[in-house]
Amino acid sequence: MTNVAVATSSPLAAEAAREVAAAGGNAVDCALAAALLTMNTEPGVCALAGSAFITVWPANGDPVTIDGNVAVPGAGLPDADRGHGAVSVSMEYGGGIETLVGPGSVAVPGALAAIEHAWKRFGATNWRTIFAPSIRATRDGFPLSSACHYYLGYSGESIYGRSKEGYEALHLPDGKLRDIKAAIVISGLSDTLVAIADEGADLFYKGELAAALSSHCRDGGGMLTREDLATYRPIDRRPLMATMGGWQIATNPPPAIGGAVLTAMLIACSSITSRQWTRESLRQLINAQQACLDFRKQRLDLAVDIDSEAAELIESARSGQLLSRWTSASTVHTSVVDSDGTACAITASSGYGSGEMPDGTGLWLNNCLGEIELNRRGLDAGPVGARLPSNMAPSVARRDGAVLAVGSPGADRITTALQQFLINYLQFDMSLHEAIAHPRVHVDTSGKAVRLMAEAGHDLPDTGLPLKLFPTPVMYFGGVGAAVFKQGEGLSSAADPRRVGGTCIYEA
């Protein structure tokens, strides 16, 4: 029987992976079970009707990234029916954000299609087995996590008050948000998961659930049609490849943005020769972040041809031209490896949430069209079926009898968190736990002025950037989860202390 190491978003999700491993599941089965549980038990943070990228490096094969990202809706609609049904919401969350919610913010969800596709290609156990932990948790009640409680403290009324059934699941009769660890039962959700486990993803994309999702959105002025759902397909993509410390790293390729930015950051840091962080190596790290994130903001976010722009970013990093210009909501992640040498990394998102839940389904819908800071094109984001921009970068790596799965939530901090973890672990030879917990920096390009955000513990160089220093590690800097198998050493996993995560090692 296969042994596995798991790093995921909660102890409950880690136990789901352990249960599937005990039933004969491999790394992919366990990762899918943990990801499903996370999507269905972290309201506000993620949801099944969103997006997912799954990067798999099988023991005896080439790596692949399964693109289950959300897509632009509106198949069969006249132009006059596009761009409606969304409302703007402002929240103090994250220092203040503005997002679009409501039926018009909903993109075509791809997570479930990607999960089923990954299971069919790589799974070793049956479909119902990977759903069993989620069905049980949503039927009996799952604890409201601290991360969910924190976000819902800002969004519980303005976003998640849009659905009566959803609101009642999260709030007491007097309107107060339920406490951390309170048992949450969402009406209809367990039954929906049972039906998907019995009938497969076709129920969601072509059957009764598809009708419910589309009708709900169209009745509210949104663009999601039955044709959008019926024609959605996950896409197998060849990952972007990078090297570091003798490891081959495979990560999310275009049209997603995150993998290209991460790859360019790693290439731009390849000249670091020290074996620890010094002022000079930190200067190189910060310069790489600033250059790559500026390129993303100026070029990638609005690119018509993302592939060519991403190729230019990576080539300019290789040539050294990239750094010459700088001489002066919400995601969850699961990483699993097994003792056969297979690695699986899954990152999923539903944006900030649209607040919409079709009656009786228990399914919250994404607001990925309304993530203004990421989807800068707005509600009419491009041709129908086009994938939306994404920072997600689930990654796997391999070297001489060792295999690693890693990823992170955290918006544009996904790439910078992974950049620093990979340098810490692959080049500086820190332990898995040390590489994740080590203080981080992030160049913030989101506002009018570029700022350097940093956790205490670094001897920072003078960069000329305004500095915001955090005295302790904080969730802002991502939530890296990593699992590794090394022949002769065995399995290990670690979750980020910045977020409540879950890990487990299952040995038969």
Asked whether residue 96 carries a pLDDT value surpassing 70, the answer given is yes
Closest residue by Cα to residue 390 from 363, 365, 404, 371 = 371
Number of H helices, E strands in the chain: 16, 20
Parallel, antiparallel or unpaired: strands 451-455 and 467-470: parallel
Q: What is the pLDDT of residues 103-128, one digit of tens each?
A: 999 999 999 999 999 999 999 999 99
Residue in 425, 398, 426 with CA at minimum distance from that of residue 340: 398
- Phi, psi dihedrals of residue 299, rounded to the nearest 5°: -120, -50
pLDDT score at 322: 61
Q: Provide the residue ranges of all domains of the chain, joining segments of one domain with +.
A: 15-236+350-370, 244-331+397-479
Chain centre distance of CA 44 = 14
Two tokens at 44? Answer: 């506000």
Q: Torsions phi, psi of 34, nearest 5?
A: -65, -40
Instruction: Name 24's Cβ contacts closer than 8 Å, sequence gap at least 6.
Output: 1, 2, 124, 125
Parallel/antiparallel/unpaired status of strands 331-338 and 441-444: unpaired
Task: Yes or no: say if 216 and 349 are a contact pair by the CB < 8 Å rule.
Answer: no
User: Which residues of 207-319 form beta strands (DSSP E)?
Assistant: 235-237, 240-244, 247-251
Residues in the chain: 508
- The CA distance from 414 to 494, in Å, is 17
Q: What is the pTM for the complete model shown?
A: 0.94
Alpha-carbon distances of 244 from 159, 211, 293, 423, rounded to whole Å: 42, 48, 21, 8
Average pLDDT over the chain, rounded to an integer: 92
Kind and range of the H or E run holding 139 = helix 127-140
Which residue type, as a one-letter code, is found at position 442? H
Indicate the burial class of 79 (C-beta count within 10 angstroms; 0-12, 13-18, 19 or more): exposed
Torsion region of 325: left, alpha or beta (phi above 0 gives left; psi -120 to 50 gives alpha): alpha
Q: For the segment 410-441, what is each residue's pLDDT rounded down to a tens digit? A: 777 899 999 999 999 999 999 999 999 999 99
> Given pLDDT bands bounded at 50, 70 and 90, which one contains residue 325?
very low
